[in-house]
Amino acid sequence: MTIALVPYCASIVVCLLLLKTYFSKRVFDSPSAPYPPGPKPVPLIGNFLDVPKVEPWKTYAAWGREYGEIVHFTAFGAHYYVLNSVRVVTDLLEKRASRYSDKPAAPMLKLMDWLWALSLMPYGERWRLYRREFHQQFKAEKNRDYLPIISRGANGLLCNLLAAPEKYSTHMRHFAGRSIMSIVYGYDVAPEHDHFVDIAETALEMLVDSSLPGAAIVNFLLFLQYLPTWLPGMGFKRYAQRCQKLNLQMRNEPFEYVKKRLNAGDSTACVTAQLLERFSTPRPGAFEDGEETVKNVAAMAYGAAADTSVSAMLTSLLAMVLYPEAKAKAQAEIDRVIGSGRLPTFEDRGSLPYVEAFVREVLRWHPVTPLSVAHTVTDDDIYEGYFIPKGAFLLSAAYGIRRELLQDEVVYGAEPGRFKPERFLKPDGTISALYPNSAFGAGRRICAGRHTADATLWIQTALTLAAFNVAKAKDEAGREIDVSDRYTDGLISHPLPFACSIAPRSPQAESLIREARDSA
């Protein structure tokens, strides 16, 4: 066989394997109930061509409006269900959590070596161990120990915004990375191009770009993962190999940094040190080395906190630009309660109900993860007369759910599409019991680090409001530059870059920012 014929023979093999895979699927089995409505499939490939690769949550939300709260589609024999309402998400992911808490071992994620991450790990004993250890380190009571670290990082953020306001996105990312790396590893992040942070951010970016259903063909054609890397169309394997290397560095290098410090006799109260102490004695029946558990749980904290916190903080800044009335009300409350002689601290949180409502509205207004990581079903099920087969993928369409919540005027009041912190206030101006919990997921898979994320967003918002006037930027002719509320694609969605003006509210505010440098 000549080299020139290799690609053609490979293509024939691929087609034969594709047909075998398709006809071995359960799409031709007779289900005990009908599937939910959804877009009409075509032979062999199902709805593969319908699966959106750009802003998929918007397509799924549109399908929800057309077909209902639960939408069914197929791709190469695999079944997908889009959950487009809070009611359905609650019924399946919470009330039937034992059946719907598993995660699909997506081939691309396996190739990239990401299945150690809590949000991507299949449900089982290992997941329960990791979840328990992560929860112990980031539960509400424990989070109070981290507030001084987060405060120092936030003071550093103010100084950076004062020095170079046009780099606001970079400063937000540095603040998030600095805080979580200090909490988890006792490590002081470099002001720019930190080695550990750069590795983690690149690995996370590659994960985000590969996670959504339409992002990698291998997630539909499972057999592709077993074909040689040199075949045409196997670029995804080389991409995965690059990510796998970064992934290993992300987990190992900061972990070794902590071990080196401990071996040198340096004391540190970081999460990794505490976990190493907990796992210092071998445990009967353990299915992996204790150090492997420690490095994975520690790395999960950065992966879970950094990019999501940046997205929420940028949304907070965007809201200040687009809704100056809400910003002014929050600043007036800070001036009235705290005055101009100091900056807000976490101790002031209970005294600033409008600022609290502002933060909650940020979480409600634009979800950080508009489409959740898929769940998978462990057993056949019937839900409201519809068949959901074992192995089906469930996508909780937070974008569609958010739209549903936005339209619920009974709960949130009028003008559901606007940014209105008043939704979370009682008529007397005190904070209500409403909280946008769905921003952090649902069921057993709800974000275990939500208390730290909430604290990070609150202090960033409160300090930015107290110290700066954030407004639309102006061009050379003095005209305001328009700003949109469009967001990026991906598992974690960020506002598209927007121009804004960030200036100290007063000379006294500038002095307070400079004083904050000492505690940063």
DSSP character string of 394-422: EEE-HHHHHHHHHH-HHHH-S-TTS--GG
Tell me, what DSSP letter sits at residue 203? Answer: H
Tell me, what DSSP letter sits at residue 471? Answer: E
Task: Retrieve residue 288's tokens.
Answer: 């992996």
Tell me, what DSSP letter sits at residue 49? Answer: G
Q: Which of 274, 106, 94, 108 is nearest to 184 (CA)?
A: 274
DSSP character string of 208-255: HHHHSTTS-GGGTSGGGGGS-TTSTT-HHHHHHHHHHHHHHHHHHHHH
DSSP character string of 331-393: HHHHHHHT-SSS---GGGGGG-HHHHHHHHHHHHHS-SSSSPPPEE-SS-EEETTEEE-TT-E
Distance CA 189, CA 186 (A): 10
Q: Residues near 383 by Cβ (< 8 Å), separated by ≥ 6?
A: 70, 88, 91, 92
**Kind plus residue range of the DSSP H or E element containing 70:** strand 70-75
Task: Retrieve residue 9's tokens.
Answer: 């023979």
Distance of CA 220 to the CA centre of its chain: 23
Task: Retrieve residue 137's tokens.
Answer: 């380190």
Is 447 marked as a binding-site residue?
yes
The number of C-alpha atoms within 13 Å of 328 and in the hemisphere containing its C-beta is 5
**Which residues is 396 bridged to in the sheet?**
83
Task: Retrieve residue 414's tokens.
Answer: 């009028």
Whether 138 and 468 have beta carbons less than 8 Å apart is answered as no
Distance CA 434, CA 423 (A): 8
Pairing of strands 393-396, 78-83: parallel
Task: Retrieve residue 377's tokens.
Answer: 């079903």
Which amino acids are annotated as binding site for heme, given as ranges? 447
Which amino acids are annotated as binding site, given as ranges? 447
